[in-house]
Amino acid sequence: MSKKLRDTIVAYAFLAPFLIVFLMFLGYPVLYSFSLSLHKATLTTSWYDVFGDMTYCGPENYVKLLTQDKEFWHSLAATAAYAALSIPTGVCLSLALALLMHNRLPFVGFFRSAYFLPNVLDMLVVGIIWVLIYSPDYGLLDRVSNWAGLSFLPAEGLLGNPLTLLPAIAVAMILKGAGFGMVLFLTALQNIPESLYEAADIDGCTPWQKLRHVTLPLLKPIFFFMGVTGIMAALNAFTEIYAMTGGNGGPSTTFMGTTVRSGDLAGFFLFSHFQRGNYGYAAAISFVLLGLALVTTAAQMRILRSED
């Protein structure tokens, strides 16, 4: 036995525990979910004979989802709007905090911890807190606006109005996650060599020019990471929607002549079908969302490469 083959066998022997757990708890469920998406499986399906009792329908679930289900297209539109609201604003706020915390300010360690603290709180708890803040009857925001003599809030509250629901949820999630983005940007800023800034000073660059031509280009990996994770979070948004809409998806609105829930994002739409027992259809939704996530990630990578 050659040394290379022996080393390969030893390496796979060490990897075997992980591979077994991976195949058992992730690999098999993915394959089973794909098989499930090609079947009609409901609450009446016998789970003791999962493959024999399900009715095979081929790509019917996918065809129905993409060509007939207006609620699905509304969920994608709502998800795109939510992502457009939350991702750029969250990235800008995180970068601004990182640039501020990168300076030698008094008690900077305390402020860094304070900004990061909301990120470790449970999503459901954060959602409930913001429900109390947004409440039109006794919420902090309503009381402050009344005290200031302002009447810009809708009578039904920000979470009860179809036009303000998604922006209100986006604000809550941006403030929750800004601390995590701040840490990422701060770590990248601390790894930028000081010699680059010294060279820029010698060339007579202004602070804005140093930010634009030195700092921002070196932060591209963080921008890419936050963009990808932001898209994943938008596609999988469920807990915040569930907590801040009382589990019903928010107030009703119309989309292409169909009554829908204004907060019915893609992740919540998937949950609602799973909750109703439409397991095959829900599995099809999950794989369509997976495809969208892969496409958007590949597009981001291509854009970054073209800029380089």
pLDDT digits (tens, 9 = 90+) for 136-177: 878 888 888 878 777 777 878 888 888 999 999 999 999 999
Q: Which residue has the tokens 């501020």?
A: 100
Helices (H), 68-122: 70-101, 108-120
Helices (H), 121-219: 123-134, 140-147, 165-190, 194-202, 207-210, 216-218
pLDDT reported for residue 50: 54
Distance, CA of 250 to CA of 169 (rounded, Å): 11
pLDDT reported for residue 306: 67
Question: Minimal CA–CA distance to 179: which of 84, 95, 85, 88?
Answer: 95
Distance, CA of 12 to CA of 211 (rounded, Å): 46
pLDDT reported for residue 48: 60
Identity at 88, one-letter amino acid code: P
Q: In the structure, what pLDDT confidence band is assigned to residue 14 with cuts at 50, 70 and 90? A: very high
- pLDDT above 90 covers what percent of the chain? 33
Q: Encoding tokens for residue 157?
A: 């509250």
3-class state of residue 307 by DSSP: helix
3-class state of residue 58 by DSSP: coil
Distance, CA of 297 to CA of 232 (rounded, Å): 9
pLDDT reported for residue 49: 62
pLDDT digits (tens, 9 = 90+) for 174-197: 999 999 999 999 999 988 888 888
pLDDT reported for residue 174: 94
In order, the DSSP letters of 203-218 are: TT--HHHHIIIIIHHH
Q: In the structure, what pLDDT confidence band is assigned to residue 102 with cuts at 50, 70 and 90? A: confident
Query: Is the pLDDT confidence value at 53 over 60?
Result: yes
Question: Beta partners for 260?
Answer: 253
Query: Is the pLDDT confidence value at 307 over 90?
Result: no
The DSSP call for residue 147 is H
Q: In the structure, what pLDDT confidence band is assigned to residue 241 with cuts at 50, 70 and 90? A: very high
Report whether 157 contacts 134 (CB < 8 A).
yes
Report whether 251 contacts 161 (CB < 8 A).
yes
pLDDT digits (tens, 9 = 90+) for 225-236: 998 899 999 998
Mean pLDDT score of the chain: 87
The DSSP call for residue 54 is S
